[in-house]
C-alpha cells in the first residue's frame, strides 16, 4: 500500500507527513491509500557509500527524487533502470519505505 497525507481543508497533498497542513495550517489531515501512486522521476543517484553499516552489504543502492502526480516530492529507493523523466509507480515496502519502479 501507499499512503499520502491530504489536507481536508485546502485539499493539498503533502509529504513528509506532519501534524498540520504546510499550506493552510489546518490540522484536519486525511490519509489517501492506494496500491501505488504515480510519480515522475526528477533526479537519481547511485550510492556507493553509506554512513550506516547495515546498508553497506547492499551498496551500490539507487535512490531518487520523485514528484507524485498529487504534487509532493519524495526521496525514495529507485529501480536501477529508472532515469529522470520516467513515469514510475511508488509503493510502500518494508518499514514503510518508498520504492519507485
Partner 1 sequence: MRGHAPSQAAMMPGSYQGVALCCPVTEPYVRRSDHGAAWFLARALRRLLDAGGVAKTDVDGLCVSSFTSRPDTAVGFTQYVGVSPRVLEWLPMGGACGLIALRRAARAVQAGDAEIVACLAGDTANATSFRDLLAEFSSFARDAVYPYGAGGPNASFALIADAYMRATGATREDFGKLAVAQRANARRNPLALLRGELTMADYLAARPIAEPLHLFDCVMPCAGADGFLVMPEARARRLGLPFVRVLSAIERHNAFPDDPVQLRGGWAMDRDTLWAQAGIGPADVRFVETYDDYPVISMLQFEGLGFCTEGDGPAFVRRHDFTIEGSLPHNTGGGQLSMGQAGAAGGYLGLVEAMRQLLGAAEGRQVTNARHALVSGFGMINYDRGLCSAAAVLARP
At 95 the three-state DSSP class reads helix
Can you tell me which of 1, 20, 33, 46 binds partner 1, judged by CB under 8 A?
46
> Using the rule CB under 8 A, is 75 a contact of partner 1?
yes
> Using the rule CB under 8 A, is 73 a contact of partner 1?
yes
Cβ neighbors of 41 (< 8 A, separation 6 or more) are 64, 65, 66, 78, 82, 83, 84, 85, 86, 88, 100
> Minimum distance from CB of 12 to partner 1 (Å)?
11
| Of 29 and 63, CB closest to partner 1 | 63
Task: Identify the bridge partners of residue 88 per DSSP, sorted by sequence position.
Answer: 39
Stretch that binds partner 1, among 1-9, 29-37, 48-56 (CB under 8 A): 48-56
Task: Identify the bridge partners of residue 3 per DSSP, sorted by sequence position.
Answer: 33
Give me 97's grid cell: 519505505
- Applying CB under 8 A, the residues found at the interface with partner 1 are 15-16, 42-52, 55, 58-59, 61, 63-65, 67, 73-77, 84, 95, 97-98
Amino acid at each position: 500500500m501507499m499512503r499520502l497525507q491530504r489536507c481536508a481543508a485546502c485539499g493539498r497533498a503533502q509529504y513528509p507527513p506532519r501534524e498540520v497542513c504546510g499550506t493552510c495550517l489546518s490540522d484536519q489531515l486525511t490519509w489517501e491509500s492506494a496500491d501505488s501512486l504515480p510519480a515522475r522521476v526528477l533526479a537519481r543517484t547511485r550510492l556507493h557509500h553509506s554512513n550506516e553499516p547495515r546498508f553497506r552489504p547492499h551498496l551500490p543502492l539507487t535512490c531518487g527524487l520523485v514528484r507524485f502526480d498529487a504534487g509532493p516530492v519524495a526521496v525514495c529507493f529507485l529501480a536501477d533502470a529508472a532515469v529522470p523523466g520516467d513515469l514510475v509507480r511508488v509503493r510502500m515496502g518494508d518499514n514503510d519505505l518508498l520504492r519507485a519502479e
